[in-house]
Amino acid sequence: MTNHQSPITNTAFLCGYFSAERDLQPSMLQGWEKRSFNRQEQANLSNYYFPEFAQCLTDDIQMYFRPVEQDCVLDFGDEQVTFRLEKLQLWQAPFRIVLYAVTIHFDNMPLNSVTRALNALRNCAWYSPMQDGFVNAALRPVMDLFQRLNPHAPHREAGSHDLSWLVESGNKFKIFQIIQAVEGIEKGDEQLMLYDAGTLARHTPLSHGINSPAYIERILEEHTVSVFSGWTGLALLDTFTLLATDTPEMVFRNWISDYFEKIYIYQLFRKVFLYSVNLRYRRRSEDVIILEQRLDEFEQKYSYTAISYNFLPNIINAAMEKSLNTQRDYDQLDRMIGKEIQVRRNETEQKTNRFLTFLTCLTIFSAIYDMASLLNDSFCYEALFRSSHVGFRLVGTFLLLLVLVVYLLLVKKKK
């Protein structure tokens, strides 16, 4: 039986991301190790994932890691929560996007202690002094890298506890977490435990919670991923949670290497790119034509209707895409940019039409003048009208009316 006091283990990845002004250079990555894929690993990926997606993961997005292996303690006064800070990961993505993750591990702790600690760690808009150890060990390397990649960014005070600038959109880290119940999960408690873990809420009996049962039921119905009996997933905007019991080590490693390092990071890359383009569009910092070209390039290279030959990665990918709203963000941005470009094209077309109309009028008047002059040479207006000026006016007026009549007849015929 599992309740809010029963122990769990939790491996969580706190994910941040930002855009860079300049390209990431190897000289900036001292202390980081590159994750390379040999030919056999690339072949295995191509047998499991579609070639375009496999290429995106191995060539277009470069991954680096930095071991830490340090114990940290959060002192809440009434409780101390200890966790293991394992490593940092960094992804250099196209369009000068940098993603990173901090891997932390909680071992045999109550769920409420874990969610309490994760709430404190992910809220990077305000860190208290008790988180200084975590900040120095986990975030200082990322902060240094951010400053090198964004030399024109506002200067940050060294002792500031507001680190929200490390997350380009929002004020907290996104979390991918794998929770394993040590003592198993009671049948009636699994769904509520999954909801509380995914929302990082205090795990209490349903009757004591602040959310209505109807709301919890709707969230679980819309965002739960349940394929096999051994685990259940919950895909939300800020968290992706896997809740399991008796997970084999090989399955656990696959969840990290495939669900997190490949699919979740890919969807997070899409989310950051679309946010970046949307920000440039609303700030008018780049021409809308350039943004359209960039959006088209991204769509051609990094948008896939499916990513794998197998069904499960596609299910996971679809759940993450839905929770992060990446496809909705793309559709809305594409519609806004397309609408503005169409308005601009219509305005250009109207200006061109007005200019062509002006040229046409000049051509018609020139032709009328030439025709009137030719008729004057043939019949001599001065002899017919006693004045060449009067003759020119009468003949020119007649020819102009004739042109107008022909134009109106043609327009009427088209209708």
Number of separate domains in the chain: 2
| Higher-confidence position of 141 and 380 | 141
Residue 320 lies in a domain: no
pLDDT digits (tens, 9 = 90+) for 215-254: 888 999 999 999 888 899 999 999 999 999 888 899 999 9
pLDDT of residue 367: 76
Are residues 100 and 206 located together in one domain of the fold?
Answer: yes
Are residues 31 and 165 located together in one domain of the fold?
Answer: yes
Residue 364 lies in a domain: yes
* pTM to 2 decimal places: 0.83
Are residues 254 and 344 located together in one domain of the fold?
Answer: no
Those residues with Cβ within 8 angstroms of residue 178's Cβ, 6 or more apart along the chain or in another chain: 10, 11, 12, 242, 244, 247, 252, 255, 256
pLDDT band per the 50, 70, 90 thresholds, residue 293:
very high
Are residues 257 and 351 located together in one domain of the fold?
Answer: no
Q: Looking at the DSSP assignment, which residues form a beta bridge with residue 109?
A: 8
- In whole angstroms, what is the distance from residue 146 CA to residue 21 CA? 10
pLDDT of residue 1: 40
Is 46:147 a contact under the CB 8 Å cutoff?
no
Residue 291 lies in a domain: no
Residue 128 lies in a domain: yes
Are residues 251 and 369 located together in one domain of the fold?
Answer: no
- Residue by residue, DSSP assigns 110-162 as EHHHHHHHHHHHH-TT---GGGHHHIIIIIHHHHHHHHHH-TTSPP--TT---
Q: Which domain holds residue 210?
A: 7-263
pLDDT of residue 2: 45
Are residues 216 and 354 located together in one domain of the fold?
Answer: no
Task: State both tokens at 168.
Answer: 């380009």
Are residues 141 and 237 located together in one domain of the fold?
Answer: yes
Query: Of 336, 335, 306, 310, which is closest to residue 321 (Cα–Cα)?
Result: 306
pLDDT of residue 143: 93
Are residues 249 and 344 located together in one domain of the fold?
Answer: no
Q: Which residue has the tokens 């932390």?
A: 104
Are residues 90 and 206 located together in one domain of the fold?
Answer: yes
Those residues with Cβ within 8 angstroms of residue 145's Cβ, 6 or more apart along the chain or in another chain: 24, 28, 29, 90, 98
Q: Which residue has the tokens 């990555």?
A: 29
Residue where a domain terminates, one of 230, 263, 296? 263
pLDDT digits (tens, 9 = 90+) for 31-71: 999 998 888 888 889 899 999 999 999 999 999 999 999 99
- In whole angstroms, what is the distance from residue 47 CA to residue 67 CA? 30
Residue 284 lies in a domain: no
Are residues 153 and 52 located together in one domain of the fold?
Answer: yes
- In whole angstroms, what is the distance from residue 176 CA to residue 11 CA? 8
Residue 306 lies in a domain: no
Are residues 254 and 356 located together in one domain of the fold?
Answer: no
Query: Of 368, 350, 351, which is closest to residue 404 (Cα–Cα)?
Result: 368
Cα–Cα–Cα angle for 312, 240, 114, nearest 5°? Answer: 135
Residue 127 lies in a domain: yes
Query: Of 142, 126, 131, which is closest to residue 81 (Cα–Cα)?
Result: 131
Residue 233's alpha-carbon distances to 193, 226, 250, in angstroms, are 11, 6, 18
Are residues 177 and 89 located together in one domain of the fold?
Answer: yes
Residue where a domain terminates, one of 263, 280, 299? 263
pLDDT of residue 235: 97
Residue where a domain terminates, one of 263, 284, 306? 263
- In whole angstroms, what is the distance from residue 312 CA to residue 40 CA? 23
Residue 170 lies in a domain: yes
